[in-house]
Amino acid sequence: MSPMEEFENEIKLLIIETLNLENVTPAAIEATAPLFVKGLGLDSIDALEIAMEIRKRYGVKTTADDAKNREIFASVRSLAAYVWHQSQAQRQP
């Protein structure tokens, strides 16, 4: 498993734990499936909770009015890539 696949799995666990998704395993969440409407069927409140947990765990901030939110939160893969790159950028001197 590549480092990015491992991080995608970590984001899946974060979503499951943050939203208290019972009977959902990381394996049941497809990395490229939509997070909202189809796929997991999340809503805007769920996105807010996930964003707050990401800020707490990784120090990566998103804002409600960011035009890229739809793209960032499109799937586990896009969310993991965003958080990965933002957290790496914060570590740069």
Q: What is the rounded average pLDDT for all residues in the chain?
A: 89
Per-residue pLDDT tens digits for 2-48:
989 999 999 999 999 999 999 999 999 999 999 988 778 888 899 99
Query: What domain range is 64 assigned to?
Result: 3-91
Domain tally for the chain?
1
pLDDT at 11: 97
SS3 content of the chain, % helix, strand, coil (to 5): 60, 5, 40
Question: Do residues 24 and 34 lie in contact, with contact meaning Cβ atoms separated by under 8 Å?
Answer: no
Residues 6+ apart with CB under 8 A from 72: 62, 66, 78, 79, 82
Nearest CA to 50 out of 18, 22, 21, 81 is that of: 18
pTM above 0.75, yes or no: yes
Q: Residue 81: pLDDT band by 50, 70, 90 thresholds?
A: very high
Per-residue pLDDT tens digits for 37-78:
877 888 889 999 999 999 999 999 887 777 788 899 999 999
CATH number at residue 65: 1.10.1200.10
